[in-house]
Amino acid sequence: MNKITKLQQAMPPAMEAALLCDGANRFYLTGMKSSAGAVLVTKKSAWLIIDFRYIEAAEKQVKDCRVVEEKNRFEQIRELLAEEGIKGLSIHNEVVSLGEYRRMEEALAGITLDGSGALSDVMGALRSQKDEDEIDCHRQAQRITDQAFDHICGYIRPGLTETDVAREIGVTMAALGSEDKHFNFIVASGPNSALPHGVATKRVIEKGDLVTMDFGAVYGGYMADMTRTVAVGSVAPEKRAVYETVKEAQERAFACIRPGAVCGDVDAAARDYIYSKGYKGCFSHGLGHSLGVEIHENPRFREGSTDRLRTGTVITVEPGIYLKGRFGVRIEDMVVIRENGFENLTKSPRELIIL
Ligand code: ZN
Ligand code: ZN
């Protein structure tokens, strides 16, 4: 079933029409990437309203809704809704600024706007349940990511900088077919690895360092996300112990992952283990996040979350321990929730690799 039909079926009775103006949802619904445009969906019709720059490509590529050249967006929306006698329009409130919302209210006078978040909830629920085609895109993106990791393990050596490694990962993934040309990956070595989101710097990698790399390819518009921490030359016993603690925390989380599991409980399985080993306060982020056409989607594994897992959700499991000013370890895999538990899309080894 195409995504527009899915949305139409998921729209609650009171939701007469839906308007989506952000890039991620436009791509999700139409399969076409663009920097502008709006998707208008009613229970029986759907339109992509898009300007002259994209019109030709849209007419060729977009199959599941009518393509209309944008002249005066709100005037066009008003006319299209009038044709179906529709008086209410739901807005994706997560991505519309207050200023835009006010302009919309003015331009669409007579139509009742619903910015309550109902449409955001519907879209979030749809996007969190991937079909097999979407899962296959994630799988291909992860395959490229795994191949790039294998390559980078043969490349890293003392004397290279973090940015050298980040660049090499990017060039390798592009050569392997990744669609992402932005190489802002995390490569954090030595004391920098204690920063959960440290970007690559000019720091020179030394023997004895841990190097944390967090990166992912994009395939068919869908993302991969993986972190591996490797040791360069040798590994001190304390660093190995921290690594094994993170790895065991990840395994404890895996053991809880199945449809119906509460996201906060999965987070707790990893977190409690890390804290019990004396690292309270050293795991400063949530255990994982869903991803799809965007890198951070819902649901998420985080403390206290009452969301329940459902089949088809693609989500990361990424425990970490960060010892300020010293070093850090994170291991991140991407899994898809299956009826009998989960399938791990990440194939790179999770054992500590000493390069
Ligand atoms: Zn990541
Ligand atoms: Zn992640």
Is the separation of the CB atoms in 302 and 317 below 8 Å?
no
H or E element: which one contains 19? strand 17-20
Whether 110 and 138 share a structural domain? no
Least Cα distance to 26 among 137, 93, 123 occurs for 123
Centroid of ligand 2 to alpha carbon of 346 (angstroms): 12
Whether 182 and 294 share a structural domain? yes
Tens-binned pLDDT, residue by residue, of the chain (355 aa): 899 999 999 999 999 999 999 999 999 999 999 999 999 999 999 999 999 999 999 999 999 999 999 999 999 999 999 999 999 999 987 788 888 888 999 999 899 999 889 999 999 999 999 999 999 999 999 999 999 999 999 999 999 999 999 999 999 999 999 998 766 799 999 999 999 887 899 999 999 999 999 999 999 999 999 999 999 999 999 999 999 999 999 999 999 999 999 999 999 999 999 999 999 999 999 999 999 999 999 999 999 999 999 999 999 999 999 999 999 999 999 999 999 999 999 999 999 999 9
**What gap in Å lies between CA 213 and CA 87, rounded to an integer?**
51
Centroid of chain to Cα 227: 14
**What gap in Å lies between CA 230 and CA 62, rounded to an integer?**
44
Centroid of ligand 1 to alpha carbon of 52 (angstroms): 37
Q: What is the pTM of this model?
A: 0.94
* Residue range of the domain that includes 19: 3-128
CATH of the domain at 34: 3.40.350.10
Centroid of ligand 1 to alpha carbon of 352 (angstroms): 18
Centroid of ligand 1 to alpha carbon of 233 (angstroms): 24
Is the separation of the CB atoms in 355 and 231 below 8 Å?
yes
Domain-ending residue, one of 78, 112, 128? 128
Whether 175 and 201 share a structural domain? yes
Whether 315 and 213 share a structural domain? yes
Whether 99 and 233 share a structural domain? no
Instruction: Dihedral sign for Cα 92, 96, 100, 102, please.
Output: positive
Domain-ending residue, one of 93, 128, 163? 128
Whether 141 and 117 share a structural domain? no
